[in-house]
Structure 1
Amino acid sequence: MVLLLFVDLDPQLAALGPLGGFFVLRTGVPPRGPLPTLAQAYTAPRLDTGHDVYADPITFRIHKVAQSIQAPEPRIAVSVAHQALAARLWSVALGTAALYGRLPDLDPRLLHWDPAGSALDDLWLSEVRPLPVEAIGEVVRGGHLVPLAAALRSRCHISAGLLWGNAGSALAGAVRQLDRWAQANGRAEVSGRARTLAAELFAHSDLSGTLDPATLRRRSCCLYYRLPGGGLCGDCCFTRPPKH
């Protein structure tokens, strides 16, 4: 169990700012106007056109990613889109927990998503409500990754194991980034908190088999190698790109 010194969550979650990248979480009302919540995105009916950001945010995002990376197969775009959102969710949750000793309530009904945007401006939390860090698994895994995987698999034939592999890889990546920041800024306690929380998260059955515990290499592939000019990720289960 993690022992933390509690620091009140400020309304802007300002402590996340220095972490940069996927860790920053905007709060309040998006300047471009209302955005769909992730709860709406997870439950929206599938629309094959992918043109309506509000009617079907998930399909819109898949189409946007597919065009951006020139994906030759829909499941590659699904995997890339999934891993990016999983990385955002793990990063903001783990970063806040490690820095504050508290977790913001990331209820999908409070978290607004711009599927046309990119970090830092893709996620907006409408209200900052503190939760104990022990809730991090249920908040991210149960509240987001489970319904996100269901929504993606209803739109594309893709392995559940691949998606959980993405989630495990994204969690490990968030820990590595926090490690680097903590070492560079003399905040060893932040790294320790993040590692302890991650170890507890990886003990859950959904994540426990996703990475090799000795090497932290994945046991599934995100399919990135199948992109034109794509290679292997740093934690890929393959040592050379398979022929396809």
Structure 2
Amino acid sequence: MVLLLLVDLDPDLTALRSLGGFFVLRTVAGTAHAPAESLPTLAQTYAGAASDVHGDPITFRVRKVATALRAPEVRIAASVAHLGLTARLWSAALGCAALYGRTPDLDPRLLRWDADAAAPDDLWLTEVRPLPGDATTLADIVLHGHLEPLAATLRDRYRLAQGLLWGNAGSALAGAARELDRWARANDRTDTAARARTLTAELFTHPLLRETGTLTGTAFRRRSCCLYYRVPGGGVCGDCCFPRPPAA
């Protein structure tokens, strides 16, 4: 049994800073460098609304990734873009739950997204509303609030397979948990490590995640592939279902 001391969420979510940029979540209330109001919320993005900043944010991000990777197929870039945003959402939510014992409400209407920025300047939370840090709440926030509408959009636009998208979700969660566990052990935060492991194991019992791969401690082997091996010079990821890049 893990004994958890609940800590109030602060306006800056400062506890996330020591975990590294991929976990950090910028808050509009807690910074003097708030993004322009023209940045779209993720709710608007999932709904396909155009932005004054980058036009369609998902299309913009996919094209940006495609150019950076020299991806021969747009589907590859769409998968990698999906994996990156998914990892950011899991990292912020799981990091808060493990460190604070609570998580902020990451309702898509509260999160503004800069499709041209890298972590941690891509996501901005407009209001910190504390919620419980249990696995059910994390699933509601991330899986149902974000990943279901995001997956529906990407399947429709880029013909990405459902198994690939949920495999990305499982891989991103496992990756966030692994980094959090590594940080916690290096900083003698065994309580945080135990909390992160427990939450992750519970989340992988969810129907949307339990068939995505095999979780053993902090190690994960997915049952699908994110397509990164098709990038020029790319190989297979550490948790890929393929031991080596498939032949062309």
**Shorter-chain TM-score category?**
over 0.9
> In 2 relative to 1, CA 31–129 (structure 1 residues): closer, same or farther, beyond 3 Å?
closer
1:220 aligns with 2:224: yes
> SS of 1:131's equivalent?
strand
Contact residue 21 and residue 120 of structure 1 kept, 8 A: yes
Alignment of 1:32-181 (within 5 A): 32-34=35-37, 35-44=39-48, 53-134=53-134, 135-181=137-183
User: In structure 2, how many angstroms separate the alpha carbons of the residues matched to 1:42 and 1:103?
Assistant: 22
Cα drift, residue 151 of structure 1 = 1.2
1:242 aligns with 2:219: no
Structure 1 portions without partners, runs of 5+: none
String of CA shifts for 1:51-85, please: whole Å, max 9, x gaps. 96454111111111111111100110010000000
Cα drift, residue 153 of structure 1 = 1.3
- Matched to 1:201, the amino acid is L
Contact residue 112 and residue 124 of structure 2 kept, 8 A: yes
Match of 1:185 among 170, 181, 187: 187
User: In structure 1, how many angstroms separate the alpha carbons of the residues matched to 2:205 and 2:237?
Assistant: 24
Bigger mean CA deviation after superposition, 149-158 or 76-85: 149-158
Moved over 3 A (4+): 29-32, 51-55
Bigger mean CA deviation after superposition, 180-189 or 31-40: 31-40
RMSD: 1.7
Match of 1:201 among 194, 200, 203: 203
Contact residue 111 and residue 126 of structure 1 kept, 8 A: yes
String of CA shifts for 1:160-189, please: whole Å, max 9, x gaps. 100000000000001110111001111011
String of CA shifts for 1:207-244, please: whole Å, max 9, x gaps. 00111245621100000000001101111111111112
Contact residue 2 and residue 197 of structure 1 kept, 8 A: no
- Matched to 1:33, the amino acid is A
TM-score normalized by the length of structure 2? 0.92
1:233 aligns with 2:237: yes
User: In structure 2, how many angstroms separate the alpha carbons of the residues matched to 1:56 and 1:39?
Assistant: 13
Contact residue 3 and residue 191 of structure 2 kept, 8 A: no
Contact residue 43 and residue 108 of structure 2 kept, 8 A: yes
User: In structure 1, how many angstroms separate the alpha carbons of the residues matched to 2:23 and 2:160?
Assistant: 27
TM-score normalized by the length of structure 1? 0.94
- Matched to 1:218, the amino acid is R
Structure 2 portions without partners, runs of 5+: none
String of CA shifts for 1:126-181, please: whole Å, max 9, x gaps. 00000011211100000000011011112111101000000000000011101110
Paired position in structure 2 for 1:211: 213
Bigger mean CA deviation after superposition, 36-45 or 25-34: 25-34
Paired position in structure 2 for 1:25: 25
